[in-house]
């Protein structure tokens, strides 16, 4: 007997556009002092955060709402939305309506430095005498 495949459909019509409030760009997992310093630089900017998703991929997130999202959180171009929108949230753990898509979420340099410290990561560059 074949098992029925569960077909997940994100509840876009009722969720309130949670995934439409930001954009996120995947970045490589930081491993070098330069990587760590770049993330510190990202976090000096307003509405910029870093997160790790359920697939352990690192992202820089820009908290800026889509201009096609109405005041009542409906998409003005839902039927003609870009493919990235169509593909997002197609697994329950990717859909913000059900759960946080983040396994790690960092929104300040202080929090990032504490994360590195807790992991025992040597992230600081040696300063040169002035």
Report residue 14 as tokens: 């009722």
Q: What is the pLDDT of residues 1-57, one digit of tens each?
A: 555 555 666 677 777 888 889 999 999 999 999 999 999 999 999 999 999 998 899
Measure the CA–CA gap between 41 and 50, rounded to whole angstroms: 11
Average pLDDT for residues 67-85, to the nearest whole number?
90
Report residue 119 as tokens: 């992991």
CA 99 to chain centre: 13
Task: Determine what percent of the chain is predicted with pLDDT higher than 70.
Answer: 85
Measure the CA–CA gap between 91 and 129, rounded to whole angstroms: 52
- In total, the chain counts a number of residues equal to 130
* pLDDT score of 58: 98
């Amino acid at each position: 007997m074949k098992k029925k495949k569960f077909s997940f459909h994100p509840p876009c019509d009722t969720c309130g556009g949670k995934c439409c409030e930001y954009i996120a760009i995947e970045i490589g997992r930081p491993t070098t002092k330069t990587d760590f310093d770049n993330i510190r630089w990202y976090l000096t900017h307003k509405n910029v955060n870093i997160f790790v998703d359920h697939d352990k991929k690192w992202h820089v997130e820009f908290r800026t709402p889509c201009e096609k999202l109405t005041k009542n959180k409906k998409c003005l171009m839902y039927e003609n939305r870009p493919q990235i929108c169509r593909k997002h949230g197609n697994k329950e753990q990717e859909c913000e309506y059900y759960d946080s898509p983040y396994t790690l979420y960092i929104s300040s340099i202080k929090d990032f430095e504490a994360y590195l410290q807790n992991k025992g990561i040597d992230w600081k560059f040696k300063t040169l005498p002035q």
